[in-house]
A and B are shown apart, each in its own frame.
Chain A
């Protein structure tokens, strides 16, 4: 597939890197230094030019691309570039990243025939919100095909005996992955669950909560007092998403303009404090040490990590940090920080998942990209109805079948029925094999 990416920033770079394994990637940007770096690191074609200038596209050697992805820092440039590129080249699909969620409910996107728009800030805000519904969760993933959720829980219990994986697995819930000492694997049923493991559970909310209370005895079950560091657009969206949860929220931001903007948006329902993050006294004077949870939502990963560590020092159990640089992911996990993908990392995965998913198969990444999940629903008229499933034998791959919201082993099922959902979990290394299997079936 020929893929053109407008913008060589963090998102553009990450997408180019991942997509270049399989596809022909062309990246356009104004910044020659960014392009030089890309050209050195990755086997792609870089084009120096303005994405909003038709000339940039006219000077190219080809007439069509399969996919155009606009991920520059500016919404306007992204929108305009999709219009301009289509005037010059033949484009099959267009994906765009937007910050302003006003476009979510407007017809602009369909008028510009944009196939898919990513609003990473909203996704991140919703992720944070989900953490309140499941206070013990590290991460919550929802699916449109089923009510089952994929939730990760950090194991913190003082019990003498260790639980094993099969003790928890039943028709309502299944342990589909464990991250232990930085590496992710799919556990066999006999695997023991260790302390500090990050356990991925797939199942109904009730069943997961039951297990969660056994595995995690430390995390507070209800969260009332929250501190948000940062009042940028993302932090504002997070605060706004939390408004209906009846919480006490304090926002700390050093930039006065952002404080004002946040104040206007949130209209006094949130205490906004204008102060430098570095101000140590905040924890004492503003009573931050009594918070149940802090959310570090600054743009800078390093600052977010430091804030979380400080909060931990003050005894706050639940610390959440927004993360954009994958390099810090493991570090943050290790320090017991709950990691929420920031707008850049969020855009990266949302776009990747969109590209590799199709109308029949959904593909999702989890555990910092180490784990991968494929989901295929058997729709009415599907030719698979009445057929049996033969899972491929692979280590570190788990096959599940959902029928009427119950989990089954697909090899124990005789034939597929309408409404069944096949779910495959695997480590990222087996992506190719699983993908082939689930499409061919």
Chain B
């Protein structure tokens, strides 16, 4: 890394840092509204802003031109620094250790939703809001925000940055300038958040809870302001509203964008969206049936909670209404399937994502046909378009990295002495950015009991999962650091 490359990266990071300090200020404002002592937070925020602003001013004359390597390095750096920046206010106001605060903050920004707090309701309002805010900023991607607001990508620059952070196989553009697409994506994101908040308010939540839950629903995060998560409210309306918004947040935002900008709904007529909805309905009905037939629950109650639970897990949100870990082994198996699937590419959801399964299953079908008809000319087609073989290769690679990362985390946790279910489900819950797992990390429990080292490892696992493996693992490849 030469000085020039570092200048590009520092300038980029400083812009994101300034943006973050503005958003953090809203948390201070929330604290003031509720009459909380905000002095330390304010000093921290001011320091954050001044530091980044001075870095930015020093490099003002420098024209930013990020290379692919520089972009990837910046994205990694920013996500780690976000974790640190979010951790400091948590430490200042709740007295938790840095490992705890960093875990909570990374869990927030990666929209995982795993928490180390045992009593959420005792936290100051500003901190509750801060947790939801971290979800909300991380959901659509703070760099996508940066791209939109500050036109960070120079026109001739590579798209690497946008791609490195965005979730999904391919972040398509619908406008000539990536900036415009980014701004519109955030527009839809804000719109959904406002709609959700209004709906929740009308369904009986107070403004504070409505806003916080809207933030963490649309970002498919999972932090709640209540210990019992959404179960606290005992309202079926709230459960259904949240189910609806979780599901639409798990759909490719470009489809929403198309609907809002042109009024055409054909963005939804994609195989990925249809499969996603089908999986959602089938798994929900299965889970509902288990509840009805095994636990003798009534239909409406069972379906309300099964649809909600599958939506929450499928979109990797991680809200809970009931402790679904109590529903028996069959239920756990069904929920596990949902944990493995994930949402759509280009949505705020994490996980493997439906499109990758479609690619791989179709590829397997092609392989089989090829064995039977060796001379046939075959291809994988999705939505009438041929999937190129580099995409299939990278999808296979993704699945391999997903499995390997999960396995390493599982083995680590198992080796640390936790039971097998905790190890497996916690690994999946963090790498897939879901939040709750089973056994010790179940929906009614939290991550407080892990050691500091465990928390750091799980924090890294969450970042790796959020940036979809390649972006992080590239740092460990030899050719990344070689100059020649």
Interface residues of A (CB under 8 A from B): 2, 17, 20-21, 24-26, 32, 39-45, 61
> In the docked arrangement, what's the CA distance between A43 and B153, Å?
8
Q: Which residues in A have their C-beta under 8 angstroms from that of B158?
A: 40-41
Q: How distant is B259 from chain A, measured CB to nearest CB, in Å?
A: 12
Q: Which residues in B have their C-beta under 8 angstroms from that of A41?
A: 156, 158
The answer on a CB contact under 8 Å between A21 and B173 is no
The answer on a CB contact under 8 Å between B156 and A45 is no
30 contacts between A and B (CB under 8 A): A2-B176, A20-B155, A20-B156, A20-B176, A21-B155, A21-B156, A24-B175, A24-B176, A24-B177, A24-B180, A26-B176, A39-B159, A40-B158, A40-B159, A41-B156, A42-B155, A42-B156, A43-B156, A43-B157, A43-B176, A43-B177, A43-B178, A43-B179, A44-B176, A44-B177, A45-B173, A45-B174, A45-B175, A45-B176, A61-B262
Q: Quick one: which of B99-155 are within 8 Å of A by CB? A: 153-155
Interface class of chain A by DSSP: mixed
Q: Does B375 contact A (CB under 8 A)?
A: no
Interface residues of B (CB under 8 A from A): 153-159, 173-180, 258, 261-262, 388
Q: Which residues in A have their C-beta under 8 angstroms from that of B388?
A: 32
Q: How distant is A285 from chain B, measured CB to nearest CB, in Å?
A: 46
> In the docked arrangement, what's the CA distance between A105 and B158, Å?
43
Interface centre among A20, A24, A43, A44 (most CB of B within 10 A): A43
Q: Which residues in B have their C-beta under 8 angstroms from that of A24?
A: 175-177, 180
The answer on a CB contact under 8 Å between A43 and B262 is no
Q: Which residues in A have their C-beta under 8 angstroms from that of B176?
A: 2, 20, 24-26, 43-45
> In the docked arrangement, what's the CA distance between A26 and B177, Å?
9
Interface class of chain B by DSSP: loop
Using CB atoms, name the residue of chain B closest to A17.
B156
> In the docked arrangement, what's the CA distance between A32 and B385, Å?
12
Q: How distant is A120 from chain B, measured CB to nearest CB, in Å?
A: 24
Q: Which residues in B have their C-beta under 8 angstroms from that of A26?
A: 176
Q: Which residues in A have their C-beta under 8 angstroms from that of B180?
A: 24
Using CB atoms, name the residue of chain B closest to A26.
B176
Q: Which residues in B have their C-beta under 8 angstroms from that of A25?
A: 176
> In the docked arrangement, what's the CA distance between A264 and B24, Å?
77
Q: Which residues in B have their C-beta under 8 angstroms from that of A17?
A: 156
> In the docked arrangement, what's the CA distance between A44 and B158, Å?
11
Interface centre among A17, A32, A45 (most CB of B within 10 A): A45
Beyond known contacts A17-B156, A43-B177: 11 more, CB 8 A cutoff: A20-B176, A24-B176, A26-B176, A40-B158, A40-B159, A41-B156, A42-B155, A43-B155, A43-B156, A44-B177, A45-B174
Q: How distant is A38 from chain B, measured CB to nearest CB, in Å?
A: 11
Q: Which residues in A have their C-beta under 8 angstroms from that of B178?
A: 43
> In the docked arrangement, what's the CA distance between A406 and B425, Å?
85
Q: Which residues in A have their C-beta under 8 angstroms from that of B262?
A: 61
Using CB atoms, name the residue of chain B closest to A44.
B176
> In the docked arrangement, what's the CA distance between A2 and B157, Å?
20
> In the docked arrangement, what's the CA distance between A414 and B106, Å?
68
Q: How distant is B113 from chain A, measured CB to nearest CB, in Å?
A: 34
> In the docked arrangement, what's the CA distance between A20 and B175, Å?
12
Using CB atoms, name the residue of chain A closest to B180.
A24
The answer on a CB contact under 8 Å between B159 and A43 is yes
The answer on a CB contact under 8 Å between B261 and A61 is yes
Which among B157, B174, B179 is the interface contact of A61 at CB below 8 angstroms?
B174
Q: Which residues in A have their C-beta under 8 angstroms from that of B175?
A: 24, 45
Q: How distant is B444 from chain A, measured CB to nearest CB, in Å?
A: 47
A-B CB proximity, top 3 nearest? A24-B176, A45-B176, A20-B155
Q: How distant is A395 from chain B, measured CB to nearest CB, in Å?
A: 16
> In the docked arrangement, what's the CA distance between A20 and B154, Å?
10
> In the docked arrangement, what's the CA distance between A172 and B261, Å?
59
Interface centre among B175, B262, B388 (most CB of A within 10 A): B175
Q: How distant is A385 from chain B, measured CB to nearest CB, in Å?
A: 39
Using CB atoms, name the residue of chain A closest to B170.
A39
Q: Which residues in A have their C-beta under 8 angstroms from that of B174?
A: 45, 61
Q: Which residues in A have their C-beta under 8 angstroms from that of B155?
A: 20-21, 42-43
Using CB atoms, name the residue of chain B closest to A4.
B176
> In the docked arrangement, what's the CA distance between A39 and B258, Å?
20
> In the docked arrangement, what's the CA distance between A154 and B347, Å?
60
Q: How distant is A413 from chain B, measured CB to nearest CB, in Å?
A: 35
Q: Which residues in B have their C-beta under 8 angstroms from that of A40?
A: 158-159
> In the docked arrangement, what's the CA distance between A61 and B259, Å?
11
> In the docked arrangement, what's the CA distance between A24 and B176, Å?
5
Q: How distant is B146 from chain A, measured CB to nearest CB, in Å?
A: 15
Q: Which residues in A have their C-beta under 8 angstroms from that of B159?
A: 39-40, 43
